[in-house]
Amino acid sequence: MQDQLLDHIPSLDLADFRSGDSERKARFVQQLGEAYQNIGFVALKNHGLNDEQTRQLYADVQAFFQLPDEAKQRYENPELAGQRGYISKGKEHAKGRNTGDLKEFYHVGQEVEEEDPIKNEYPDNIWPQEIPGFQKSTFTAYRTLESAGQDVLRAIALYLHLPENYFDDKVKHGNSILRPIHYFPIEDPDAVPADAVRAAEHGDINLITLLMGASADGLQVKRRDGKWIPITALPDQIVVNVGDMLQRLTNGVLKSTIHRVVNPAREKMNTSRFSIPFFMHPRSEMSLAALEHCVTPDNPKKEADITAGEFLNERLIELGLKKK
């Protein structure tokens, strides 16, 4: 399929894939695959989180970020390379940059509740004591988005002419992360570096990202012709995009599109913005070697073989979260 220069991202309904109706399911697979070959993003409804769960999640997340910095920093452990707990303001920067993004965030990770040796790879989650509901609301979102992500990956597998369950064992107890983000208010824009932005342009590391809170102004995607287009989603939708791991696995057939969060107008720099992405990662041992049928004379192999764990480690160093 030739790239189309869309000025929006397609809207899809996960209920079509889950319906049991073969025609609806096939249509969803085709539309998802075409979107991921073209712009790399879709807006998705019927993802599983209801209005009350979403409201409670945002209430708990906002309550945490309203705590004083010294209280939040009690939940920051630099030895974990940002994999659990709080990550303070300006700590992360985009690949290839040194200026920190204008954000702070919190990481909730995988919890393995059965016998699986991969449990030893994951640090324990860190829960803020000041916000009693934080653990329940964030982990409910984690499991709900993980389930939606599994179905999106099943649709991707079908589009790639793989068995529907191709990704199932690769993401079971995967190293996925829920990241509530606070793009904090800037009272004096002249006091921050001139090139500082809420999130500089980047591609996501993981297989797919499921993003809540993309309806606020600021999120933009870089189209194939270099034009930046705003991403808008309805309140009942999440945005789901391809990450670098999936692009690497498919040898570029599916696109990990560069995106960013731009600063608001100067007079609105003193306002907060919140979003909550779920970064869906596989198990560390998954090979990201290009799928054989995605390597053709017209699309020669682009990247060396690497595992998901090795790739993640490289990127954490590049983002400034981990030392070499």
Percent of the chain's residues with pLDDT above 70 = 94
Q: What is the pLDDT of residues 90-117, one digit of tens each?
A: 776 666 666 777 889 999 999 998 899 9
Selected residue with higher pLDDT from 257 and 163: 163
10 Å CB burial of residue 226 (0-12, 13-18, 19+) is: exposed
Q: What is the CATH number of domain 11-67+132-312?
A: 2.60.120.330
Selected residue with higher pLDDT from 103 and 32: 32
The whole-number pLDDT of residue 1 equals 39
If you average pLDDT over residues 37-64, what whole number do you get? Answer: 94
CB 88 within 8 A of CB 74: no
Closest CA to 17 of 25, 6, 9: 25
For residues 195 and 310, give the distance between their C-alpha atoms in angstroms, rounded to a whole number: 30
The tokens 């699309």 sit on which residue? 299
The whole-number pLDDT of residue 93 equals 61
Q: Structure tokens of 135?
A: 């653990």
What residue spans define the domains of the chain?
11-67+132-312
CB 237 within 8 A of CB 11: yes
Closest CA to 69 of 88, 90, 83: 88
CB 231 within 8 A of CB 240: no
CA distances from 238 to 49, 211, 231, 270 (A): 10, 5, 11, 26
Q: What is the pLDDT of residues 240-286, one digit of tens each?
A: 999 999 999 999 999 998 888 877 777 777 888 899 999 999 999 99
The whole-number pLDDT of residue 319 equals 72
Q: Structure tokens of 246?
A: 């999936």
CB 255 within 8 A of CB 37: yes
The whole-number pLDDT of residue 190 equals 74
Mean pLDDT value across the chain: 89
User: Would the pLDDT of 84 be above 80?
Assistant: yes
Q: What is the pLDDT of residues 191-247, one digit of tens each?
A: 777 777 777 788 889 999 999 875 557 888 888 788 888 887 788 999 999 999 999
For residues 201 and 93, give the distance between their C-alpha atoms in angstroms, rounded to a whole number: 10
